[in-house]
Amino acid sequence: MNTLLLATIEWIKNDWLSNRLRFCVEFVAWAISIGCSVTMALTVPNPPLLILYPVWIAGCAMYAWAAYSRQSFGMLANYLLLVTIDSMGFMRML
């Protein structure tokens, strides 16, 4: 277990050193994702979608940029599709 933890810490350090901007963008996008999920869970059955939807879409767009900079097609396709679907849902909600 200790070896796995050390390897993970080393991987995180290498990711930070390889592209600090991307690392920070991914960290903020992760925080947005967790924040939106917690807010949804705490405010069910009437979550503040008018606030959460644009924040969630922004987080997905940040992840899409990070995926592009990593040259990760699968993640880029996933997050671009989420941005598209959620943007359409947000527009319908307005």
Q: Which residues does the chain have with pLDDT short of 70? A: none
Token match 């997905």: residue?
A: 60
Using an 8 Å Cβ cutoff, are 62 and 54 in contact? Answer: no
Which pLDDT score, from 0 to 100, does residue 83 have?
A: 97
Q: Looking at the 3D structure of the chain, how many domains does it have?
A: 1
Residue 60 lies in a domain: yes
pLDDT given at position 56: 97
Do 56 and 36 meet the contact criterion of CB atoms below 8 Å apart?
yes
Is residue 66 situated within a structural domain? yes
- Provide the domain limits for residue 89: 19-93
Q: Does 73 map to a domain?
A: yes
Check the CA dihedral 16-73-64-79 and report its sign: negative
Look at residue 10 in the predicted model and tell me its pLDDT: 96
Contact 27, 74 (CB under 8 A): no
Residue 33 is assigned to a structural domain of this protein: yes
Does any domain span residue 72? yes
Query: Given this model, what pLDDT does residue 94 score?
Result: 92
